[in-house]
Each structure stands twice: as structure tokens, then as C-alpha cells.
Amino acid sequence: MLPESFIQELKYRNDIESVVSSYVQLKHSGKTFSGLCPFHSEKGPSFHVYPDTQSFFCFGCRAAGDVISFIQRIENLEYKEALQFLAKRAGMAMPDEVENDSLSRLKTRIREINRETARIFHQNLNSPAGRDGLNYLRSRGLSDRIIRRFGLGYSLGEWDRLYKALSAKGYSDEELIAAEVVKKRKQGNSFYDVFRGRVMFPILDLSGNVIGFGGREIGGGGPKYLNSADTPIFKKSRNLFALNFAKNSKEKGMILAEGYMDVIALHQAGFDNAVATLGTSLTTDQCNLIARYTDLVSLSYDSDGPGQNATNRAIDLLKKNDVKIKVIHIPNAKDPDEFIKKFGAQRFRLLLEGSANSTEFTISSICQNYDLDTDDGKVNCLNKLAEFLATIPNGIERDVYISRVAADFERDKDVLAQSVQSLRRRNEREKRRKDDGKLTVFAVNMPDGKTNSINDIQRRNNIKCAVAEDRLLAALIMNPDYFKWVSQKIQPADFVTDRNREIAQTVFDRLERNLSVDLSFLGENLDLEAVSQLSRGVMELSGRRISAEETEDYINVLIQHKKEKTKEEISQMDNEEYARYMEGITKGKASHWRGKQ
């Protein structure tokens, strides 16, 4: 267990506004700061940072907490890892810990393995045995400087060269397998390297740690590109290649390319704002990640069919983040790398500056699917264009493109506008029908008792008790001196909902031992959602004192629930028992606060 004084000092040195602003563009708003939430897609800023309480809260997804839980969420870290992250940021040494966290230790070992693996691959590249890899990179026009900057390397063709090297450094077979750099053969007790005979691209996180690898085969067979599988420290769908560089670029916006070589070629040409996905299609998490750092994305995917399909998918996903989108048309080349080699960086910059927006790209893509020299082709194309125009939410933008399409097809603008409006009304009706068919239940403890999770059936069925539990826990967090008399009246076992019972057990245990119940300390024993739930409860009651009388009201709700009998229990009562039970029900609440704190 880490000393409370250390965690308090850690928070003092990591002001929440300073930490959050390195991930989210914050705007000052009165006594708070606001911005787009980094944890869900949104068009308007619902994410707020409160410097006075050193906390954050999103009115959209309901995420809440302090600087420690923020780092846990944003960096996908465990509690102790978040403390280590913040300690490193503040230049603080971590004190010796009493407990050994096996998962945290495994993650640390995987990072060490990846760092050592990247070093070995880079050494291989610059050795006689790695000449094929170096020749390949140079044949692609990469300079020694850019090779060093990206830490590029080469995995030798031997089956277990890396396994032997890492084992000799004391890493266990289990750790190497967990890091996904080694696999065990299906038969026997031998192991083999995952990457063999490939040019290697280390994948770094935002802090500069090697979290995975991409490997490009150069004649050894197998798939063209091979990427690290997900590990405890690496999720392909949540990371982007070269974002560690691009987030600090002075270039306008970001360029989203298709592969490692495209990104590296763009960086070498001066476009250090280029990033790429990691062997998968663009994901929602990656779009959220991009939106943290920019509001403009220029798509520079390959010009072939799959590349254009990927462009259309990226447009749909990025639009949900309210990101401005441009699409770079690359003539006479299949990708940015080939174009820059043929025509140079200045010509690519002209392409970038003259690129079409996403609306123009989609209109052009639709038109390419029809024979516009025939009447049928024109009619079918116009119908498809009307469907697309009906999806444009901004009225001014929609009107501009209705006018442009009508002019290009030499058709009456009013007729096209009426068709688009009719389609919009139809879309709205369909959306309302879908929305009406959904169960919208909010599980967060708002004053009106609504909830924010359709899955929390237990909470929904006991909403009065759940809210009372939330308020009681918040009261204990804000007034630890209430604990002595509260614990004499109620125990965690009396809580109705499983989640709050778990939270109460942690809070009661700490208070019993005279330990702090500040949210910063509870993360060691509670998961992120539990901390978030507690934080919401405290935030909703902040600014006013919770009286002892009010706290006892919450206790009485739970005591009353405990006294209530099920239908089966009532049916088995005799007349005298039933009369006593009904008398207790009609008396209502138990007595109010009478004792001394």
C-alpha cells in the first residue's frame, strides 16, 4: 500500500487542468474548463474540468473522477500504473510498495521486452546479417535519419533468434508469450519468434513506450504485413502509428494514411502530422483519439478500390466526432509514398491544400458509379445523390450542394430541393420510430432518480434504494466523521444493489481503519466505474452540507427496505405476525437523528 502522503503530493504536482489539457483542447468557462470528451464521440463540449475540486465530469457519457482516474481511462492503465505515470510526469520517485501487483508487473515486463526487442531489431538492421532489410528501406528512399527517428529494424530469418536473446536476459517463457513476440509450438516444448525475415516498425504510445510491432516481409513468404496481436499494453483499435510525433506537429490538422511506409515517407517529406491505423480499418476509438488533437483530418488512402472504400468508411466515422474532413486525390500514383517519389514534397503540399472536402468526395464517388451519358444513369444517379444530400445536417451546406448538383445536371433546383426535403422527413420518421422502440433508462444518480444504463436491471428495479445508497456513500466521503454512528445503524450487507454494496465495503473498511476515503485512494480497491459513480454522487451534492438528519433519511430508506417482506414471506405469516408487519409499514420512517456524533 502506498503512503497517503505520497498520493496527496502526487495530485498536488499534477494539476488536473494541466494534465487534461495535454489530451483535450480546453476552453476557459467561468470557474471551469470545457472541451470535447475524450471518452465518447460528441459534437458539442460536454466534458468539464473543475480546478477547485481537481475533478472532471462529462455530462454526455457521465465519466467522472480525479486526475488519477482520468489517466487510468485515457492511457488504459491500472490504478498503480496511473500513479507511476503521474509520478514520472512530476519527477517523483515511487516509494516501495508492500504489495506485488502481478498484472502491473507483467505490463512492466512486457514494456521492457518490447524496448529490448526494438533495440535488437535495430541492431540487426545495422549488422551484416540485416543487410537485406537495410537495402530494402534504402530502396524505398528512406534516409538514415528517418530510419533512426522511427527506430526501424529487421527481424532475422532464424526461427528462435529473438527467443534465445530475450531468454538470456532473464525473461520467462510466459512473459515472452504474453508480449506476443514469441509463440509456443503446438507440439513439443519449443518456441519460435513471431517475426522472422521482416523489416520492423516499432509502434509507440503517446509517452514514447514501445507497445507493439508491425513487420513487412521482404521475400521470406507469409502475409505482406504482420502486426502484433493485442497484449495487456497494446490494443490495435485504440492506437495510431506515429501519433506520438504527430500530436506535436506544427502542420495544420492531421493526415490519415493507410500504412507505415506512407506515414514514414510523409514525415521524411516534412509532413510530420501523418498517422496510420495498425493493420485494421479505422475504428471509433481511433477517431476519438484523433479528435483529441485536431479538428481537421486529410484522408490520404490508396487510390485503388479498397482504398476508396476505406475513405468512405473513415468519412462516416470521423463525421461523428465533428471533425472537418478533406480527401486528397492522388493522381498518377497509388499512394502518397509513390507520389512523393515521383513528383516531390511540394507537389504533394499542393494536393493537400487543394483537396476536396468529404461532401465533394462523396458526390464524385456516387457519380462514378453511373453512366451519365444515358437518361437512366442520370436519373438513378440523381436519386442516389438526393439520398446523400438529405443526410447533410447543416442547412446552408445542404442548400449549396443542392444548387451545385442541380446546375451540374441541368435540373431545376426547387424540384431537387423538394425531393431532398421529402427524404429528410422520411429519415426523421424512421429515426423516431427506432428511438421510440428503445428503452431509455438512466442509471446515474440524478436528482430526478433517472439512470444511465439500460443493463442495470437491479438498479432500475430498486431505484429509490439505489439513490439512497449513492447519497449515503457521498455523505460518508464528504463527512467521514459520520461513520461511527452510521456504522451502528447499517452495514454494507444491508445495501440493496451489488455495486453499491461492493463500494460500501471498501469505504467502511477504510473508515474503520481511520484511513482517508478521498477518491484518489479508493481506486486501489475499486474499478474505474465504481470510482466514477462515487465521484458523480459527490459532485451532485457538492456546494452544500449534507446534514446528519438527511443522512439518516438515506439510512432509513435502506432499513425500511430490509424490513419489507416478499409476497412468499407474507403469505406464510399468521394473523398476529401479519398485523405487526402492517403496523410497522404504516409507521413509515424510523426515528430521526437523536444521538450525538
CA distances from 431 to 43, 393, 498, 527 (A): 19, 14, 35, 35
Q: How confident is the model at residue 449 (pLDDT cuts 50, 70, 90)?
A: very low
Last residue of a domain, one of 314, 341, 363: 363
Strands ordered across the beta sheet of 198-204:
153-155, 198-204, 210-217, 225-227
Strands ordered across the beta sheet of 32-35:
27-29, 32-35, 47-50, 55-58, 64-66
Query: Is a pLDDT exceeding 70 seen at residue 193?
Result: yes
Give the pLDDT mean for 170-189.
Answer: 94
Query: Is a pLDDT exceeding 90 seen at residue 115?
Result: yes
User: Measured between alpha carbons, how far is 273 from 256 in angstroms, rounded to an integer?
Assistant: 9
Q: Does 181 share its domain with 229?
A: yes
Q: Does 62 share its domain with 153?
A: no
- Flag whether 513 is in a domain: yes
pLDDT by residue (tens digit) across 329-386?
Answer: 999 999 999 999 999 999 999 999 999 888 998 998 899 899 999 999 999 999 999 9
Give the pLDDT mean for 83-90.
Answer: 92
Last residue of a domain, one of 363, 380, 411: 363
Q: Does 388 share its domain with 493?
A: no
Query: Is a pLDDT exceeding 90 seen at residue 566?
Result: no
User: Measured between alpha carbons, how far is 205 from 43 in angstroms, rounded to an integer?
Assistant: 26
Q: Does 428 share its domain with 501?
A: no
pTM of model > 0.85: no
Residue 32 belongs to a domain with what CATH number?
3.90.580.10
Higher-confidence position of 353 and 478:
353
pLDDT at 473: 92
Q: How confident is the model at residue 442 (pLDDT cuts 50, 70, 90)?
A: very low
Q: Does 107 share its domain with 230?
A: yes
pLDDT at 595: 37
User: Measured between alpha carbons, how far is 430 from 89 in angstroms, rounded to an integer?
Assistant: 50
The DSSP element (H or E) to which 182 belongs, if any, is strand 182-184
Give the pLDDT mean for 459-467.
Answer: 84
Q: Chain centroid to CA 240: how far?
A: 12
Higher-confidence position of 297 and 288:
297
Q: Does 54 share its domain with 128?
A: no
- Cα of first residue to Cα of last residue in the chain, in angstroms, is 30
Give the pLDDT mean for 424-437.
Answer: 74
Give the pLDDT mean for 517-544.
Answer: 81
Q: Does 482 share its domain with 578?
A: yes
Domain that residue 338 falls in: 245-258+267-277+285-363
- Flag whether 443 is in a domain: no
- 32 SS3 class: strand
Mean pLDDT over each residue of the chain, to the nearest integer: 86
Nearest to 142 by CA among 275, 265, 259, 245: 265
Give yes or no for a contact between 392 and 401, defined as CB atoms under 8 angstroms apart: yes
Q: Does 392 share its domain with 289?
A: no
Q: How confident is the model at residue 409 (pLDDT cuts 50, 70, 90)?
A: very high
- Flag whether 16 is in a domain: yes
pLDDT at 588: 44
Give yes or no for a contact between 464 and 450, defined as CB atoms under 8 angstroms apart: no
pLDDT by residue (tens digit) across 59-68?
Answer: 888 899 999 9
For helices 463-478 and 548-563, give the axis angle rounded to 10 degrees.
140
Split into its structural domains, the chain has a count of 5
- 50 SS3 class: strand
